Amino acid sequence: MNTLTVNLGKRSYPIYIGSGLIDQAALFQAHLTGEAVYIVSNTTVAPLYAEPLKITLTQLQKQVHLITLPDGELYKDWSHLQTIFDALLQHGADRHTTLIALGGGVIGDMTGFAAASFMRGVQFIQVPTTLLAQVDSSVGGKTGINHPLGKNMIGAFHQPVAVIADLSTLQTLPARELSAGLAEVIKHGAMADADFLNWIEKNAAALLACESKALAYAVLRSCEIKAAVVAADERENNIRATLNFGHTFGHAIEAGLGYGKWLHGEAVGCGMVMAADLSMRLGKIQPAEAARLKQLIHTMGLPTVAPKFGSERYFELMQLDKKTTGGKIRYIVLDQLGAAVIESVPEALVKETLQASGAT
Ligand code: NAD
Ligand code: GLY
């Protein structure tokens, strides 16, 4: 098992990465305070992993409750957040209750937001079961739900008390979800570490084959990169925005198609192709470098051609991005492979990128 720390002073917390961690009572014990524990999961993940987790927590003499939500991005909304609050209140949860998010990024974001707001804040543990959640969404404390007019528009920063990433759970992940997670792995290489990007290219086949050793390193290095960025800029005043490489275009794709049509990671994959194209048009990276990133994204089974909404609609959707300030859309572009920056970009260049990506 590898253990990292997200350094945030009194709110610092460990990320445990290893196989079979759901069965290790001692890992959970160190982070549970009250008597009651609420596992929040969904109809796909609960049948696979809720029972073993319940057994582990019962060994610790905890009262364990399970809240099962429907599965999908479509349900990351107010009414299903309310389902969590209903269950907590009906069963008499109190301020010492711990929530455990057992699932992918949707469950992690919703459980985190429920924990941030229930009784003005209770603690929660992330037990991410998708690659995307293990390499990205479970770390850093961004929690929330979608609004019909924009993704993740309602939420809070609320850090977990621990992240317990059990690599064994990835063995049941559908191939499409594995690819979606690999998009965020590629993102970490592209925005922060060119050596890691080389490693991903060399290990693409092993990653796609779900080989444990390769996945373990991809999760570890991604969490190291993300933990360092979050420790430096928890509230996204500056460099944390670079973790959004590919997301300005990606969120527009997700919202434009309707949530759930493309997976978040798929939209980010295509968004990174577009952001790399834009970086090339700004003269920051070479055409061969943009092509190299596009090839890697394609190799990982991710889309590289943008849905055709037309440039006007793309600009409208991108206006809703949380990085937009004073009506000006800001983009994360690559200064070079392995180094991202946030910039305002001339609209004409963005139009060229939209055209080159199939968006218009
Ligand atoms: P997801 O949570 O929808 O999970 C993907 C699918 O895999 C679901 O059908 C789920 O039930 C299933 N699943 C989960 N674990 C499984 C397992 N071990 N075996 C079999 N099936 C399993 O999607 P995701 O890609 O994990 O997360 C996407 C969400 O994360 C988006 O809502 C996105 O906005 C959010 N996100 C948040 C952050 C953040 O910093 N908070 C970062 C990136 C993404
Ligand atoms: N996924 C982007 C962030 O956590 O900041």
Has residue 128 got a pLDDT over 90?
yes
Q: Confidence band (pLDDT; 50, 70, 90) for 260?
A: confident
Neighbours of 79 (CB within 10 A): 8
- State which amino acid sits at residue 291: A
Q: Check residue 22 and give its pLDDT.
A: 98
DSSP 70: P
d(CA 360, CA 357): 8
Q: 343: phi > 0 → left, psi -120 to 50 → alpha, else beta; which?
A: beta
Angle of CA points 175, 177, 179, to nearest 5°: 70
Measured in Å, residue 134 CA sits from the centre of ligand 2 at: 12
Atom of ligand 1 nearest to the CA of 172: 19
Active-site annotation holds for 244: yes
261 counts as catalytic:
no
In angstroms, the CA 353 to CA 276 distance is 9
Q: What is the pLDDT of residues 130-150, one digit of tens each?
A: 999 999 999 999 999 998 877
Catalytically annotated residue among 42, 76, 80, 184 = 184
Which pTM was predicted? 0.97
Q: What is the Cα–Cα distance from 171 to 181, expressed in whole angstroms? A: 13
Mean pLDDT of the chain, nearest integer: 96
User: Do the beta carbons of residue 39 and residue 52 sit within 8 Å?
Assistant: no
Pocket lined around ligand 2, Cβ cut-off 6 Å: 136, 140, 142, 240, 243-244
Whether 226 sits among the annotated catalytic residues: the reply is: yes
User: Token pair for residue 52?
Assistant: 């073993």
Tokens coding 322:
């949380």
Told to judge if 247 belongs to the known catalytic residues of this protein, a careful annotator would answer yes
Please indicate whether residue 312 is annotated as part of the active site: no
Site of tokens 């929690």: 143
| Nearest CA among 218, 181, 221 for reference residue 301 | 181
Q: What is the mean pLDDT of residues 267-282?
A: 98
Of 105, 119, 121, 104, the C-alpha closest to 156 is 121
Catalytic residue among 54, 80, 142, 188: 142
Q: Where in the chain is the domain with CATH 1.20.1090.10?
A: 175-356
According to CATH, the topology of domain 175-356 is Dehydroquinate synthase-like, alpha domain (1.20.1090)
Under 8 Å between Cβ of 129 and 116: no
Exactly one of 247, 281, 284, 294 is catalytic; name it: 247
| CATH 3.40.50.1970, the chain: domain bounds | 2-172
Residue 321 confidence (pLDDT): 80
Distance 138 CA to ligand 2 centre (A): 10
The CATH code for residues 2-172 is 3.40.50.1970
pLDDT digits (tens, 9 = 90+) for 15-65: 999 999 999 999 999 999 889 999 999 999 999 999 999 999 999 999 999
Identity (one letter) of the amino acid at 205?
A
Q: What is the pLDDT of residue 60?
A: 95
Contact 150, 320 (CB under 8 A): yes
Q: H helices within the chain, ranges in order?
A: 25-29, 51-59, 78-90, 105-117, 131-132, 175-192, 194-202, 204-208, 212-232, 247-257, 264-281, 287-299, 311-319, 347-356
Could you give the angle at the alpha carbon of 83 between the alpha carbons of 124 and 137, nearest 5°?
A: 40
